[in-house]
Amino acid sequence: MKEIFDILTNLPHSPARTGILHTRHGEVPTPVFCPVGSQASVKTLAPEEIKAAGANMILANTYHLYLRPGIETVRSMGGLHRFMGWDRPILTDSGGFQLFSLAPLVKITEEGVVFRSHIDGSRHFITPEDAVYFQQDLGTDIMMVLDDVPPHDAPPDKISVAVERTSRWAERCLAARNSPDQMLFAIVQGGISPEMRRQSADQLAQLDFDGFAIGGLSLGEAKLDTWQTVEATVPRLPEDRPRYLMGVGSPEDLIEGISRGIDIFDSVLPTRVARNGGLYTQSGRINIKNSRMKLLDAPVEKDCNCYTCQTFSAAYLAHLFRSGEVLGLRLATIHNVSFIQRLVNKARQAILDGTFNLFKEGFLEGYRPSDEVKRNEQKQKWLRRNRLQD
What residues are labeled active site? 93, 266
Nearest to 21 by CA among 188, 142, 170, 201: 142
Cα angle value 291/296/297 (rounded, 5°): 155
Nearest to 140 by CA among 204, 76, 81, 213: 81
Question: 128 vs 85, 133, 323, 331, CA distance in Å?
Answer: 28, 9, 46, 39
Measure the CA–CA gap between 228 and 242, rounded to whole angstroms.
Answer: 19
Label each residue of 171-238 as H, E or C.
HHHHHHCCCCCCEEEEEECCCCCHHHHHHHHHHHHCCCCCEEEECCCCCCCCHHHHHHHHHHHHHHCC
Report whether 201 contacts 209 (CB < 8 A). Answer: no
HSE-CB of 37 using CA atoms within 13 angstroms: 24
Question: 129 vs 60, 111, 147, 212, CA distance in Å?
Answer: 19, 10, 12, 18
Measure the CA–CA gap between 198 and 203, rounded to whole angstroms.
Answer: 9
Strands 58-61 and 90-93: parallel
Report whether 278 contacts 269 (CB < 8 A). Answer: no
Cα angle value 87/90/96 (rounded, 5°): 155
Strands 58-61 and 123-126: unpaired
Distance, first Cα to last Cα, the chain: 36
